[in-house]
Amino acid sequence: MSNSKMSRRDFLKSASALAAVSCLPVSMVELAFADKRKNFMFAYISDSHIQFITGGGFVRNWDRGLIRAVAETNLLQPKPDFVVFGGDLAQLGMKEELDHGAEMLAKLDYKTYCVMGEHDYYLDLGEYWSKLYGPHYYSWDHKGVHFVTLNSILTYDDWTHERWPTAEQRMLEMAGLDNPNGSPFMVGKKQLDWLRKDLEKVKKETPIVVFSHSPIQKIYKGWNFWTEDAEDVQALLKPFNDVTVVYGHVHQIQYNQIGNISFHAVMATAWPWPYPQSYAQAKSHLPKLTVPMNRADPFFERDATGWQFIDIDNGRVSMEYNLSNNTNRTVAFNPKTGKPEDSAFQDPAKRIPPQTHY
Ligand SMILES: [Fe+2]
Ligand SMILES: [Fe+2]
């Protein structure tokens, strides 16, 4: 990743090689180094929302999404070094849902790192999840890259501990969009202190990849596409040359760059969310996304669901999407404009369908 001299032509070549892998509800992330022999890949599956139906098993479509993702991941060639599950394994944090999801994830042939989602957490505050997956936040090193998993879906203590008569109601209140009873997500002081200490031992030139569930940036508060203390986390990551944050939760493709930090969302295996209205209103969200609405047809429910390839080159990330109509799209850093772009899509003359509200 650092000092890579990979040209755009080289990137496209390698991206098309990756895209030859059959369509799958999983994201592949390749970390590309100057010395290509050091390159490695990991896979990312997110937001399966396994949902228990009282007395009647589980919602079949959500099960199928995760089963397919696991099966496709096991078939990947080349094989990823590990898999990250990006959170919201369960729909309402129930033991039945977490057990059923864990049973499906256990079929992965790779070491799997799990991220906490709000749907996993707010019934018992992550207690049962911990029995399955261990600590809520942690870090590790792999082939010269420092990986950090954060629990970004915490919130204010009084909301968590004092507001709701039952744990079930707390879970339901946090599960909704546009719910005035909800509360913004945060990493929290304790975890920020841990992260500060964790990063003290990491060299500034070491590439850092952070996994969170909610975006460590502020996109749209009404839907909790938002982390209240995002700036505090960003400040801790700022001294490093090369930082990438990969997150789930938003069930849609998002791409942004703030200083040295690239942000990338991955799709859900369960369902895609539509784009919030705020995307058309630059003043209502911070930061302004550098690649707004980068799906071909947001009104087509399966548009861009789940298949994307991320290639990290010199601290910038290029993403290749296999769309459901068998066309591809690439979002890549454009050195001329100094920001990530989907050049074909963002050229107004080439937009299909035309989009006029930006
Ligand atoms: Fe989700
Ligand atoms: Fe979520």
User: If you measure from the C-alpha of residue 251 to the centroid of ligand 2, how many angstroms do you get, rounded to a whole number?
Assistant: 8
Question: Which range (48-57, 66-75, 179-188, 291-300) has the least confidence?
Answer: 291-300
Instruction: Name residues whose C-beta falls within 8 Å of residue 115's C-beta, 6 or more positions apart in sequence.
Output: 46, 84, 85, 86, 87, 149, 150, 151, 211, 212, 213, 248
Cβ atoms 319, 331 nearer than 8 A: yes
- Assess whether pLDDT exceeds 70 at residue 82: yes
User: If you measure from the C-alpha of residue 185 to the centroid of ligand 1, how many angstroms do you get, rounded to a whole number?
Assistant: 13
- Assess whether pLDDT exceeds 70 at residue 309: no
User: If you measure from the C-alpha of residue 60 to the centroid of ligand 1, how many angstroms do you get, rounded to a whole number?
Assistant: 17
Superfamily of domain 32-305: Metallo-dependent phosphatases (3.60.21.10)
Least distant ligand from the CA of 273: 1
Write down the pLDDT at residue 345.
59
User: If you measure from the C-alpha of residue 86 to the centroid of ligand 1, how many angstroms do you get, rounded to a whole number?
Assistant: 9
User: If you measure from the C-alpha of residue 11 to the centroid of ligand 2, how many angstroms do you get, rounded to a whole number?
Assistant: 32
Average pLDDT over every residue of 118-140: 98
Least distant ligand from the CA of 89: 1
User: If you measure from the C-alpha of residue 223 to the centroid of ligand 1, how many angstroms do you get, rounded to a whole number?
Assistant: 11
User: If you measure from the C-alpha of residue 170 to the centroid of ligand 1, how many angstroms do you get, rounded to a whole number?
Assistant: 17
| One-letter identity of residue 40 | F
Q: Which residue has the higher pLDDT, 219 or 308?
A: 219
Q: Domain boundaries in the chain?
A: 32-305
User: If you measure from the C-alpha of residue 290 to the centroid of ligand 2, how many angstroms do you get, rounded to a whole number?
Assistant: 22
Q: Give the 3-state secondary structure of the chain.
A: CCCCCCCHHHHHHHHHHHHCCCCCCCEEEEEECCCHHHCEEEEEECCCCECECCCCCECHHHHHHHHHHHHHHHHCCCCCCCEEECCCCECCCCHHHHHHHHHHHCCCCCCEEECCCHHHHCCCCCHHHHHHHCCCCEEEEECCEEEEECCCCECCHHHHHHCCCCHHHHHHHHHCCCCCCCCCCECCHHHHHHHHHHHHCCCCCCCEEEEECCCCCCCEHHHCECCCCHHHHHHHHCCCCCEEEEECCCCCCCEEEECCEEEEECCCCCCCCCCCHHHHCHHHCCCCCCCCCCCCCCCCCCCCCCCEEEEEECCEEEEEEECCCCCEEEEEEECCCCEEECHHHHCHHHCCCCCCCC
User: If you measure from the C-alpha of residue 118 to the centroid of ligand 1, how many angstroms do you get, rounded to a whole number?
Assistant: 8
pTM for the complete prediction?
A: 0.77
- Assess whether pLDDT exceeds 80 at residue 121: yes
Write down the pLDDT at residue 234.
98
Q: Which residue has the higher pLDDT, 8 or 53?
A: 53
User: If you measure from the C-alpha of residue 118 to the centroid of ligand 2, how many angstroms do you get, rounded to a whole number?
Assistant: 5
- Assess whether pLDDT exceeds 80 at residue 327: no
User: If you measure from the C-alpha of residue 22 to the centroid of ligand 2, how many angstroms do you get, rounded to a whole number?
Assistant: 27
Starting at the edge strand that comes first in sequence, how are the strands of the sheet with 328-334 ordered? 112-114, 83-85, 40-45, 27-32, 308-313, 316-322, 328-334, 339-341
Cβ atoms 147, 211 nearer than 8 A: yes
pLDDT, tens digit, for every residue of 219-270? 888 889 999 999 999 999 999 988 989 999 998 877 788 888 888 888 888 8
Percent of all residues in the chain with a pLDDT value above 90, rounded to a whole number: 48
User: If you measure from the C-alpha of residue 282 to the centroid of ligand 2, how many angstroms do you get, rounded to a whole number?
Assistant: 23
User: If you measure from the C-alpha of residue 12 to the centroid of ligand 1, how many angstroms do you get, rounded to a whole number?
Assistant: 31
User: If you measure from the C-alpha of residue 87 to the centroid of ligand 1, how many angstroms do you get, rounded to a whole number?
Assistant: 7
Measure the CA dihedral 307/175/106/208, to 10°.
Answer: 60
User: If you measure from the C-alpha of residue 247 to the centroid of ligand 2, how many angstroms do you get, rounded to a whole number?
Assistant: 10
User: If you measure from the C-alpha of residue 336 to the centroid of ligand 2, how many angstroms do you get, rounded to a whole number?
Assistant: 35
- Assess whether pLDDT exceeds 60 at residue 192: yes
Least distant ligand from the CA of 91: 1
User: If you measure from the C-alpha of residue 83 to the centroid of ligand 1, how many angstroms do you get, rounded to a whole number?
Assistant: 18
